[in-house]
């Protein structure tokens, strides 16, 4: 079942590791088959060297394991909340990449300081509010997802496909597992460059609105002219 999606999700998990932003098992990527309502996700705590498409776990949109003998990622319920709330997304990636985590730990959104950021995220990368102990008692992973949803009230999740979870770290998403992956890598680079920018000027101004808009539209607007006509991402 879902052989192709299993392969793509497995590959997306391995790719995150190859990109050098995941230490040990500190990351997980999932992808969804919307027609079947089935999510393929990395098993919990399995080393990257041992990952195969067969070891991926299939879960439903209500968190139930549909197929697979291994436990799914402990963050699964955060992924499913995102899939339910953001119908346009096809993949979710979570990492502990160092600079994105540093911003999450400093509990600051990442301002859009330049075109590198604007090319992929239309405005600051939001940071969620911290979870209360009541939320943690209720369901930590699920509440983490719900906080992300709350943070994105009024924001198009595909125009800003990334978020910092307060005191924790980044989640990214996209139209596919591969795109979620790429956005997680880009978020780390954006965070790293933003840190270096702040070190040069603690009051660095954000990019002017008109350049932000221009750059984002160049890659993502209806008449986008970046790349080749038959490219999907």
Report, as residue numbers or ranges, the catalytic residues. Answer: 119, 226
Least Cα distance to 165 among 153, 148, 182 occurs for: 148
126 binds a copy of itself, rule: CB under 8 A: no
Listed ranges 6-14, 77-85, 103-111, 153-161: which one lies at the site for a copy of itself (CB under 8 A): 103-111
Query: How many C-beta neighbours within 10 Å does residue 74 have?
Result: 12
Closer residue to a copy of itself (CB): 37 or 45: 45
DSSP string covering 149-218? HHHTTTS-TTTS-EEEETTTEEEEEESSHHHHHHHHHHHHHHHHHHHHHHHH-TTPPPPPHHHHHHHHHH
Structure tokens at 212: 């932000």
- Give the residue, chosen from 124, 169, 174, 178, that forms a contact with a copy of itself under the rule CB under 8 A: 169
125 binds a copy of itself, rule: CB under 8 A: no
User: What residues does 110 pair with on adjacent strands?
Assistant: 125
Identify residues 67-86 at the interface with a copy of itself (CB under 8 A): 70-71, 74
| Residues forming the site for a copy of itself (CB under 8 A) | 23-24, 26, 43-46, 70-71, 74, 96, 98-99, 101-108, 113-116, 130-133, 136, 140, 167-169, 182, 185-186, 189, 192-201, 204-205, 207-208, 210-211, 214, 218, 225-229, 231
């Amino acid at each position: 079942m879902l052989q192709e999606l299993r392969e793509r999700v497995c590959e997306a998990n391995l790719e995150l590791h190859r990109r050098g932003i995941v230490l040990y098992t500190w990351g997980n990527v999932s992808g969804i088959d919307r027609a079947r309502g089935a999510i393929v996700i990395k098993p919990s705590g399995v080393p990257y060297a041992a990952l195969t498409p067969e070891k991926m776990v299939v879960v439903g949109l209500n968190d139930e394991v549909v197929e697979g003998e291994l436990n799914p990622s402990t963050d699964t319920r955060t992924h499913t909340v995102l899939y339910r709330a953001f119908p346009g997304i096809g993949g979710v990636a979570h990492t502990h990449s160092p600079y994105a985590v540093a911003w999450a730990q400093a509990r600051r959104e990442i301002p859009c300081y330049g075109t590198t950021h604007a090319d992929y995220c239309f405005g600051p990368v939001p940071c969620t509010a911290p979870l209360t102990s009541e939320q943690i008692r209720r369901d930590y992973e699920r509440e983490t997802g719900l906080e992300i949803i709350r943070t994105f009230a009024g924001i198009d999740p595909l125009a800003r496909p990334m978020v910092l979870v307060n005191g924790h770290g980044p989640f990214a998403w996209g139209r596919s597992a591969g795109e979620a992956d790429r956005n997680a890598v880009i978020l780390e680079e954006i965070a790293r460059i933003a840190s270096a920018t702040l070190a040069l000027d603690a009051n660095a101004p954000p990019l002017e609105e008109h350049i932000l808009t221009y750059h984002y539209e160049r890659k993502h607007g209806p008449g986008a002219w970046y790349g080749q006509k038959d490219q999907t991402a």
